[in-house]
Chain A
Amino acid sequence: MIKIENISFDHCIKCTVCTMYCPVSQATHLFPGPKASGPDAERLRIKNPELVDSSLKFCTNCKRCEIACPSDVKIAELIQNAKWNYLKIHWFRPRDFFMSRTDLVGGIATLFSGIVNFIIGLSIVRIFMHLFLKIPFRTVFPKYEKTTFRRIFKKELRWSQSEYSKKVIYFHGCYVNYNNNSLGRDFVKVMNALGYGVEMKKEKCCGVPLIANGYIEKAKKNAVYNIASLQKGGGDSKIVATSSSCTFALKNEYSSFLELDNSGIADRIEFVTRFIYNEFLSGNIPKMKPLGIRAAYHSPCHLERMGGVMYTLGILKKIPGLELVVLNSECCGIAGTYGFKNENYDISQSVGKSLFNLIDKAVPEFVITDCETCKMQIEMNTKYKVLHPVTAIAMALDIK
């Protein structure tokens, strides 16, 4: 018997709205949906843990069900918990181990980025990965940078930051550090234009890929490290992140899912677009030149869960010369590391299909979205380049 503390499942009134909104249960009959896997099944699991269903693994943790639920049931959280508490997977899973160690793998890969990028691009290697690591052949891995963003910051950017009277602490996350240095540069540029200097604390991977792959203890360790590090001597300056999933983890999941005390930082953490939105609102709008492009905007699931989409749209609308097509809310299907696994590939693709169609119909020049894995998925499946909202602003600032 487990000690029953989290009883949000008991508020469910079985309206089934969540299942209607679940992109995975729309895509496959293998997943019975959030109602069945969350509140319904929780009662059965409490009765007897052996009644846990292996279909839980198909949940992408996109959290769309939680947005839809009128009873505030923490459905996705219940499913994540059940996945790892009841399914009890102990054996070593090389693929999941490396996929979830984004900072470890990224740290090494950036040292040999040329070779690594070359090797993982080879068909023969991709066949090998398909067969032995169960990573779909069609996966295009994000390229590794030659260096890390931290090194760039230390070498080039740090010196000028003390010129600004106000400051923000930047949580860059693994993707900026190892795969997309230029987003980090754009962030610093935009912050500086707003009159903020950027500071960085030591950080580890936020833990999202670890949680998704069942390494809860390791995720907790990282979280404890991050909470301590971000708390240290920051005063009350905001902690700003460019990844929507990192933000959600730092601000919400550390306490609600990992059951850690993040009260010292939770209120100071902000997703970058909300931070900029508030600056814009108070009249702090830097000079931007007309971009003259047409872009489609895709709202990532986790940003929707945080209620952050309106801020992104708010700042995008302030960019002159940006013709914006706001796409209907759809899940892209990648869900972090989910779509990078053979067993999920077909589901991931069919979940994403409606989004890809919408993008094609919009005939944009670029796609804009806030999330790095959405970006990978869209770039893998459409012909468009995907920009971060911060990059869009940086582009408008750059125009001479």
Chain B
Amino acid sequence: MNRIETNVIIIGGGATGAGIARDLSMRGLLCVLIEKNDIASGTTGRNHGLLHSGARYAVKDHESARECIRENKILKKIASHCIEDTGGLFVTLPEDDPAYHRNLIEGCKYAGIEAKEISIRKALEMEPNLNPDILSALVVPDGTIDPFRLSSANILDAKERGSTILTHTKVTGVIKSGARITGVECIDLKGRKTEVYADLVINAAGIWGQEVSALAGIEIKMFPSKGSMLIIDYRINNVVVNRCRPPADGDIIVPGDTVSLIGTTSKEISYDRINELTVDDEEISILLSDAEMLIPNVRHTRALRAYCGVRPLLAVSGEAQGRNISRGIALLDHHERDGLEGMITIAGGKLMTYRLMAEKTADLACEKLGIKKECTTHLVPLPGSEKKIARKSRIKDFTGIPDSVVGSTLYRHGQRLHSILTKNKKNYRVICECEMVTEGEIEYAIKKLEVKDLVDLRRRTRIGMGPCQGELCAYRGAGLFQEFGGSTPEESVILLQDFLEERWKGMKPVLWGDGLREAEFTYWIYQGLFGMAHMDEVKHKKKKILNKDILPADAKTDNKKKKGK
């Protein structure tokens, strides 16, 4: 069994956990972050990435609204490459109560959110695809936020400041010494166990926080509320479009990188179902028909995927409904609450309040550990968001790499672009043609961004996230794991298969029209042409391989040795 010692253990690699790791390492503490899956694979990667202005809460929940607009302004500064300052619209449809418009303006004013009424003509100029029958329009400082980039940049910073990141490693138990928690036990994908000891354990496991605290014998009650979303395969809007009515199903369309996201439904589910997430037909038809009312063009577009997430809200009272329950931040000191020293839990909040959640948690952690350092995360930009985005024409003149590649890489990695797009053959080879991911970017991600498999790679680079959903890039990407990640050919095939299965899951609920044609074509390529239909033999081997490291750092030399024999 491995043994690691550190200052602080963070359980959960969502935005919250990643933010805490960064905050604490900026205050000079060493952290070990343990994530059972991949960075941002939990709720953080399963929302529509709205950088709230706060307007959605302005009528009902002033505290959340104020929190949002404050963080909104901070993130625009420190996380510029993860954020698009698109602006947002609240539009009233003929079906909606016109009074809400007034209430909203009032609420925004009260919360300090700049909301400006504009003419319908102006709104249509801003967003030409909007329903022309709207009755009124309001501009608010909404934006969009890329959860994968945001989490990854926080992790990268924490790592560069000395913290350790263990992904695909699950916390299975806590180590106690009397009434004090002194560490955790965890197990990785291949069944290897590790004990990590620390002065403090932070439970940032989101909706799974209930499970994690149960490991320590503490009871907290989460309130799982499922939300489903749809992805349209290109941007049908450039501005966040909200429906001007009390928050309800299918009332928002958020542009996100090359796609648009229709959100969301809200449905109470029982806690034991938080892992079996499926989107049903009814939700899809609600989302589609409601989105069509905002942007009529939706009718002619291709729905790419459907997915859902579970809001990690702490239950405060029994009767509250998914949307009515406060999105407030809950920070629990288990010493105070349960008499157990050495562990705190952070839950609730939002993706875009991750930094504030991290600040509050780190403040408490420092207090408990007797460290007197102030939070600076609101001042220091994330890696990639430093200074103003460089003139990309300079890169282009030098390397001759096309604008579409330079621009797309800049979107994803901000200033780190300079260490990726060098004048190297790799950067002229486009691996993912929908999203313009080059071989160079993939090498960077595998080597620097905690990538263990193709699904992780997708979260860091958008490979396989375009309309073809991996049709052309998946096998190329899998091959590159051998080159940059040291996987064997068999392992690469397994990575490929897992990736295709994951893509398939999200596509299945929305397979019709062109999406279906494309899926059939992909099926033919992999199952027929590449013979993946006969993968059972390889699967057999999978068991054996799982007992080894999937990507051992020294695998390459190992392989060579074997060949030599």
Contact = CB atoms under 8 A, between A and B. Distances in A.
Q: Do A and B bind each other?
A: yes
Given A4-B129, A15-B521, A53-B403, A47 B300 contact: no
17 contacts: A3-B129, A4-B297, A10-B300, A10-B514, A12-B467, A13-B468, A14-B468, A14-B471, A14-B472, A16-B472, A36-B433, A47-B234, A47-B255, A48-B407, A51-B403, A51-B404, A52-B404
Given A10-B514, A40-B466, 15 more contacts: A1-B128, A4-B129, A7-B300, A13-B471, A13-B514, A13-B517, A14-B433, A15-B521, A16-B472, A42-B234, A46-B235, A47-B255, A47-B258, A48-B407, A53-B402
A13 B297 contact: no
Given A1-B129, A36-B433, A46-B235, A54 B514 contact: no
Interface string A42-64: 11101110111111000000000
Contacts of A1: 126-129, 235, 237-239
Contacts of A53: 402-404
A161 to B, nearest CB: 50
Given A10-B514, A43-B467, A51 B233 contact: no
B507 to A, nearest CB: 13
A4 B236 contact: yes
Interface string B397-413: 00000111001100000
Contacts of A10: 233-234, 300-302, 467, 514
Nearest to B407: A51
B300 to A, nearest CB: 6
A47 B257 CA distance: 7
B301 to A, nearest CB: 7
Contacts of B434: 14, 40, 43
Given A4-B297, A71-B514, A41 B233 contact: no
Given A14-B434, A40-B433, A3 B466 contact: no
Interface string A297-338: 000000000000000000000000000000000000000000
- Please list the 9 inter-chain residue pairs (A to B) with the smallest Cβ-Cβ separation, ordered nearest first: A3-B128, A1-B238, A14-B468, A13-B518, A51-B407, A43-B234, A53-B402, A51-B404, A47-B258
Contacts of B454: none
Interface string A1-34: 1111001001111111000000000000000100
A104 B404 CA distance: 38
A35 interface: yes
A41 B467 contact: no
B138 to A, nearest CB: 18
B436 interface: yes
Contacts of B466: 40, 43
Nearest to B434: A40
A395 B550 CA distance: 76
Nearest to B256: A47
Given A10-B234, A43-B234, A46-B235, A2 B128 contact: yes
Interface in B418-443: 430, 433-434, 436
Interface in A183-208: none
Contacts of A3: 128-129
